[in-house]
């Protein structure tokens, strides 16, 4: 539990998780930005950076499922596919940072 608190403190101070990033460069930027804001406000970067599952939609992790519900509640137009895709975008940012995400030239990201 203490590790998660420390990770959240680091994430809050990490300049690569900016408070109000511009997603106008991204495909479906508004959808990603809204999810980013949920992750940022709930200080949940550690959940995504440590995610080991194959699928967000079929995750058995209660914390991930709660986070997905919050993201879906914030952006009511999600389908099952769009929420899974959006969570992959945020997983990439959680693992590699916003700058690397912004500099990525593709629109489909699957972290390795």
Res. 9: pLDDT tops 70: no
Res. 101: pLDDT tops 60: yes
Q: What is the pTM of this model?
A: 0.78
Q: How far is it, in rounded angstroms, from Cα 10 to Cα 45?
A: 10
Res. 55: pLDDT tops 60: yes
Are 86 and 39 within 8 A, CB to CB? no
Residues of the chain with pLDDT > 90: what percent?
57
DSSP 8-state assignment for residue 19: S
């Amino acid at each position: 539990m203490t590790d998660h608190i420390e990770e959240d403190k680091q994430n809050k101070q990490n300049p690569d998780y900016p408070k109000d990033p511009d997603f106008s460069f991204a495909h479906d930027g508004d959808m990603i930005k809204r999810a980013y804001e949920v992750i940022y406000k709930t200080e949940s970067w550690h959940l995504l950076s440590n995610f080991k599952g194959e699928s967000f939609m079929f995750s058995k992790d209660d914390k991930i499922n709660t986070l997905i519900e919050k993201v879906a509640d914030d952006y009511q137009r999600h389908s099952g596919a769009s929420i899974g895709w959006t969570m992959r975008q945020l997983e990439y940012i959680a693992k590699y940072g916003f700058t690397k995400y912004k500099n990525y030239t593709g629109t489909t990201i699957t972290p390795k």
